[in-house]
Amino acid sequence: MRNGEGRVTAAELRRRTIRRADFVSCDQAFIDCRTPGSDRKENYSMIGPGVTQNPDQVVNLREPHGFNIGAAAMPHGITNNLHLHFTAEVFLCFRGEFLLRWGADGNEGELVLREGDIASIPTWIFRGFTNIGPDDGWLFTVLGHDDTGGIIWGPSVLREAEGHGLYLTADNRLVDTVAGDEVPDPAELVRPMVAEDIAALPSYDVEKLRRRVVTTDDLQWSSRALLGGVLPGGRAELAPVIGFGMTEDRDQEPRIYHPHGHNIAWLRAEPGEGVPLHRHDETQVLLVKDGEWEVTLNRHDEVSVRLGPWDMLSVPRGAWRSLRNVSGETATLLVVNGGDGRVRLDWDDEVVKAAADAGVGLDHNGYLAPYHLLPRPAGR
């Protein structure tokens, strides 16, 4: 879309805006939905279906992004049982405390996730978590790729579910005999993983998995992460979490490097500050943590939306966009971009000129540099 404007209509902006009030829970999303201690958890699918096993799950926006975004909510003491994923699973703790455990029996290690923590769980290991905080604990989840392949449940989870009339087919379909479904032929059902396959799974001790958790204390913020940051009204700060993403600070490094199919960074700004007009070629979702943000799309025929806590916006590839904190306090949001590589921003010409007047430009590697040291085309 770099050769075109990528104009977004007001109707399209509304379609891509997902308010917190638009989230629709499902308490029958997974095979353990009747297992005591797991029967009061709620699953949400905002961007893509994720790994839900219920065809009636409400999905706010099904358009492929290269990743899925959902959420898990559960009262105090409720557990999400042991399972493994084929693609990346990232937990974004927005409220409460969760005890994360992993291993085939859940006894290989434990860590506590608190508000603001982000955890990237390795593929092909069993994981589960319990709400050990308030009753309204909330985890957003970002899953790698459009087709996640579903999940593999721990053997004990499948066996206990059968006692409650629930079965899972090989094509990830939940069969509920209590609701009147017929039990499929045994050849169609998922069978528990055998001991030999479990023994071959990778192993993680606490120290190794802790390196895939990024707390608020771990964040490395940069006020020079974006070219627009040298301009009044553009002084947002960026802290990469997963992947290099769109930072233009050559000294910034993410804590987590592993390929996920997406990258994640925190963005924060003081009142009136934000990110001036730019675009890029990846899918993007903006998820507000704190404060209120105004997002404006298009270079001409602008359309705008205000996002409050937990609201999210899907920005299409190539669309011009700018962000501004319109609240009276520091505002924070998460930026999720598609792809494993760097996200190279295309700044509006006026931003580039103003930055040059302030003595800053981008070098040929896409990083901030003194403007007077940069080569310029003949005639300029």
Q: What is the CATH number of the domain that holds 300?
A: 2.60.120.10
On whether both 161 and 248 belong to a single domain, the answer is no
On whether both 61 and 209 belong to a single domain, the answer is yes
Pair 6, 318: CB distance under 8 Å: yes
Domain count for the chain, please give it: 2
Residue 2 lies in a domain: no
Residue 68 lies in a domain: yes
Residue 21 lies in a domain: no
On whether both 176 and 238 belong to a single domain, the answer is no
**Local structure of residue 371 (DSSP, 8 states):** G
Count of residues in the chain: 380
Nearest to 246 by CA among 172, 312, 334: 334
Residue 303 lies in a domain: yes
Residue 379 lies in a domain: no
Distance from C-alpha of 137 to C-alpha of 74, rounded to nearest angstrom: 6
Per-residue pLDDT of the chain (380 residues; tens, 9 = 90+): 444 567 999 999 999 999 999 999 877 656 666 666 667 788 999 999 988 777 788 999 999 999 999 999 999 998 888 999 999 999 999 999 999 999 999 999 999 999 999 999 999 999 999 999 988 899 999 999 999 998 888 888 888 887 788 888 877 777 888 878 888 788 888 888 999 999 999 999 999 999 999 999 999 999 999 999 999 999 999 999 999 999 999 999 999 999 999 999 999 999 999 999 999 999 999 999 999 999 999 999 999 999 999 999 999 999 999 999 999 999 999 999 999 999 999 999 999 999 999 999 999 999 999 999 999 876 55
Residue 48: give the domain boundaries: 31-214
On whether both 139 and 94 belong to a single domain, the answer is yes
Residue 332 lies in a domain: yes
The reply to whether the predicted model has a pTM over 0.95 is no
* Secondary structure in 3-state letters for 156-171: HHHHHHHCCCEEEECC
- Dihedral-angle region of residue 301 (phi above 0 means left; psi in -120 to 50 means alpha; beta otherwise): left
pLDDT value, residue 1: 40
pLDDT value, residue 26: 79
How many Cβ atoms sit within 10 Å of the Cβ of residue 234?
Answer: 24
Residue 24 lies in a domain: no
On whether both 97 and 210 belong to a single domain, the answer is yes
Which of 214, 241, 270 is where one domain is finished?
214
Which of 186, 214, 242 is where one domain is finished?
214
Residue 23 lies in a domain: no
On whether both 276 and 204 belong to a single domain, the answer is no
On whether both 272 and 167 belong to a single domain, the answer is no
On whether both 142 and 204 belong to a single domain, the answer is yes
φ, ψ dihedrals at 324, nearest 5°: -145, 135
On whether both 172 and 265 belong to a single domain, the answer is no
φ, ψ dihedrals at 215, nearest 5°: -90, 170
Q: To the nearest 5 percent, what fractions of the chain are helix, strand and coil? A: 15, 35, 50
φ, ψ dihedrals at 200, nearest 5°: -85, -5
On whether both 196 and 280 belong to a single domain, the answer is no
On whether both 139 and 250 belong to a single domain, the answer is no
On whether both 210 and 326 belong to a single domain, the answer is no
* Residue 54, both tokens: 């219920």
Which of 214, 247, 273 is where one domain is finished?
214
pLDDT value, residue 38: 66
